[in-house]
């Protein structure tokens, strides 16, 4: 039977074997080689303003404190006291009083650069030296307004991966945009099905009946076609992606004529989906919990001038993408259900599904696996 595969190995031109979506072993490998090894999106820089501001995020199962030090540099630490291992911070976000991180158990006290400042009664232990017990630190970088962490012992320089696409995103002034709305979704699916779903519009007709009159389905094209970041533009039939077709804000000012008539869809490995519109940008941060559960935080970003303008109302943008999100998440869950069956066999990618196919190839490359031909 020509194309068909009963192989456990991935085969070029076919979707991935089922265990890539369902097995705990593959997920553990992804944790190691993707989520802990690549630069992982944890939030927006605007979440932190003053020294000592912090938020807590889980990355690849690890609880991290993201904060600003005295020099207003972002810093990231494991949320683990060096004395007994106690979780230092229980709140989701806040500001460390006087820039001190104080363990609730025995008052070991750290600065926001991780230095151990005080450890009560430890002076009585002659072999103890405070400078040997700073918080365990994690690599962190700011890029285009996003904060990214890297749990590797020796993170690869972020510029290598990101500089290449910086010019492309520059006109949207991502670093200055502000979060006007945030919504969190809990999905019973594998995170890769969500990336694959975002990467093709073959499903737009059946899944998003309202979308085709806003953006002609056959207009999808790709201008990033290999590497960690993939995707490209689709035409807009009206002003923006809202059910009315109307924009929710003034057009972002640096866009050229072409950019003003398009919506762009990019996947940023390992955990960001990004959709620049003429008047706003939607981003989806994925937080894969396990092979079969994925949390997605969706944020709607607007220019500060728009957010502050009288009568600013992002409701139409929020409604359109919330409806569209839920349509997508439902088929992602239904597909997870199906690929969990013993009867599932890799199926043939259609000619329009080039980006999910390329995404799979990049994932396999990072995992150290390869397609059979």
Asked if 350 interacts with a copy of itself (CB under 8 A), we say: yes
Q: Residue 111 CB: number of other CB atoms within 10 A?
A: 19
User: Which one of the spans 157-165, 179-187, 309-317, 328-336 is the region binding a copy of itself (CB under 8 A)?
Assistant: 328-336
Shortest separation between residue 62's beta carbon and a copy of itself, angstroms: 6
Does 331 engage in binding with a copy of itself (CB under 8 A)?
Answer: yes
Report, in Å, the least distance between residue 255 CB and a copy of itself.
31
Of residues 344, 361, 364, 367, which one binds a copy of itself by CB under 8 A? 344
Beta strand extents in 119-261 (DSSP E only): 137-143, 146-150, 178-187, 229-235
What residues contact 303, with CB distance under 8 A and at least 6 apart?
173, 176, 177, 178, 249, 250, 252, 253
Half-sphere exposure (CA, 13 Å, Cβ side) for 28? Answer: 3
> Given the complex with a copy of itself, which of 15 and 292 has the nearer CB atom?
15
Compute how many residues bind a copy of itself; rule: CB under 8 A. 61
- Residue 82 interacting with a copy of itself (CB under 8 A): yes
Applying CB under 8 A, which of residues 25, 91, 153, 206 lies at the interface with a copy of itself? 206
H helices present in the chain, as ranges: 19-22, 24-30, 158-169, 191-198, 204-207, 304-308, 315-339, 354-367
Token digits of residue 173: 């002034």
**Interaction between residue 227 and a copy of itself (CB under 8 A):** no
Return the half-sphere exposure (C-beta side, CA atoms, 13 A cut-off) of residue 338.
13
Say whether residue 28 binds a copy of itself (CB under 8 A). no
Q: Which two tokens stand for residue 11?
A: 């085969």
The strand pairing partners of 93, in sequence order, are: 55
Question: Residue 85 CB, nearest distance to a copy of itself (Å)?
Answer: 4
Interface with a copy of itself, residue 337, by CB under 8 A: yes
Total residue length of the chain: 373
Please identify which residue in 72, 107, 118, 372 interacts with a copy of itself, judged by CB under 8 A. 107
Q: Which is nearer to a copy of itself, 206 or 368 (CB)?
A: 206
- Residue nearer to a copy of itself on the CB measure, 78 or 302: 78
User: Is beta strand 293-302 parallel, antiparallel or unpaired with respect to 229-235?
Assistant: unpaired
For residue 311, give Cα distances in angstroms to 239, 244, 307.
19, 18, 9
CB 208 → a copy of itself: shortest distance, Å? 11
Q: Please report, as residue ranges, which positions from 32 to 61 form the binding site for a copy of itself (by CB under 8 A).
A: 61
Estimate to the nearest angstrom the gap between the alpha carbon of 296 and the chain centroid: 8
Smallest distance, a copy of itself to C-beta of residue 226, A: 21
Interacting stretch for a copy of itself, rule CB under 8 A, among 39-47, 141-149, 237-245, 340-348? 340-348
- Residue 367 parent element (H or E): helix 354-367
- Binding flags for a copy of itself, 122-161, as an x/- string (CB under 8 A): x-xx-xxx--xx--x-------------------------
**Cα–Cα distance measured from residue 356 to residue 198, given in angstroms and rounded to the nearest whole number:** 8
Taking the complex as a whole, how short is the minimal distance between the CB of residue 354 and a copy of itself, in angstroms? 11
Q: Does 343 bind a copy of itself (CB under 8 A)?
A: yes
What is the C-alpha separation between 233 and 221, in angstroms, rounded?
6
Q: Does residue 221 bind a copy of itself (CB under 8 A)?
A: no
Q: What is the nearest approach in angstroms of a copy of itself to the Cβ of residue 289?
A: 15
- Give phi and psi for 321, each to the nearest 5: -75, -25
Tokens of 127: 């072999």
Structure tokens at 297: 């935080």
- Contacts to a copy of itself from residues 230-289, by CB under 8 A: none
Classified as helix, coil or strand, 105 is coil
Is the previous residue joined to 270 through a cis bond, with omega within 30 degrees of 0? Answer: yes
Among 341, 365, 370, 372, binds a copy of itself (CB under 8 A): 341
Are 56 and 64 in contact, with CB atoms under 8 Å apart? yes
The contact set with a copy of itself (CB under 8 A) reads 1-4, 13, 15, 18, 61-63, 78-88, 90, 103-107, 119-122, 124-125, 127-129, 132-133, 136, 202-203, 205-207, 330-331, 334-335, 337-339, 341-345, 347-348, 350-352
């Amino acid at each position: 039977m020509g194309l068909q595969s009963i192989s456990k190995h991935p085969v070029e031109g076919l979707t991935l074997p089922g265990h890539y979506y369902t097995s705990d072993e593959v997920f553990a490998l992804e944790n190691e080689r993707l989520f802990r090894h690549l630069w992982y999106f944890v939030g927006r820089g605007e979440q932190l303003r003053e020294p000592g501001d912090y938020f807590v995020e889980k990355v690849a199962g690890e609880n991290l404190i993201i904060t600003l030090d005295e020099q207003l540099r972002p810093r990231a630490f494991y949320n683990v006291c060096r004395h007994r291992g106690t979780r230092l911070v229980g709140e989701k976000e806040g500001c460390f009083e006087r820039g001190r991180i104080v363990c609730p158990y025995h008052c070991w006290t750290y600065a926001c650069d991780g230095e151990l400042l005080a450890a009560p009664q430890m002076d009585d232990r002659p072999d103890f030296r405070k400078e040997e017990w700073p918080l365990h630190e994690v690599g962190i970088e700011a890029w285009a307004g996003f904060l990214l962490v890297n749990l590797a012992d020796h993170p690869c320089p972020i510029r290598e991966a990101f500089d290449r696409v910086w010019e492309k995103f520059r006109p949207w002034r991502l670093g200055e945009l502000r979060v006007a709305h945030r919504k969190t979704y809990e999905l019973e699916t594998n995170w890769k099905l969500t990336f694959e779903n975002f990467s093709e519009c073959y499903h737009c007709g059946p899944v998003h009946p309202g979308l085709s009159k806003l953006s002609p389905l056959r207009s999808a094209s790709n201008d990033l076609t290999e590497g960690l970041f993939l995707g490209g533009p689709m035409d807009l039939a009206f002003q923006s992606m809202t059910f009315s077709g109307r924009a929710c804000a003034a057009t972002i000012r640096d866009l050229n004529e072409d950019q003003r008539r398009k919506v762009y869809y990019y996947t940023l490995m390992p955990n960001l989906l990004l959709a620049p519109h003429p008047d706003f940008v939607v981003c989806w941060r994925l937080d894969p919990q396990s092979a079969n559960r994925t949390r997605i935080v969706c944020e709607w970003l607007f220019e500060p001038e728009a957010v502050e303008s009288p009568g600013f109302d992002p409701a139409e943008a929020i409604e359109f993408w919330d409806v569209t999100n839920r349509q997508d998440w439902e088929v992602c869950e239904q597909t997870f259900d199906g690929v969990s069956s013993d009867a599932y066999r890799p199926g043939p990618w259609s000619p329009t599904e080039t980006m999910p196919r390329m995404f799979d190839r990049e994932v396999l490359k990072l995992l150290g696996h390869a397609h059979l031909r």
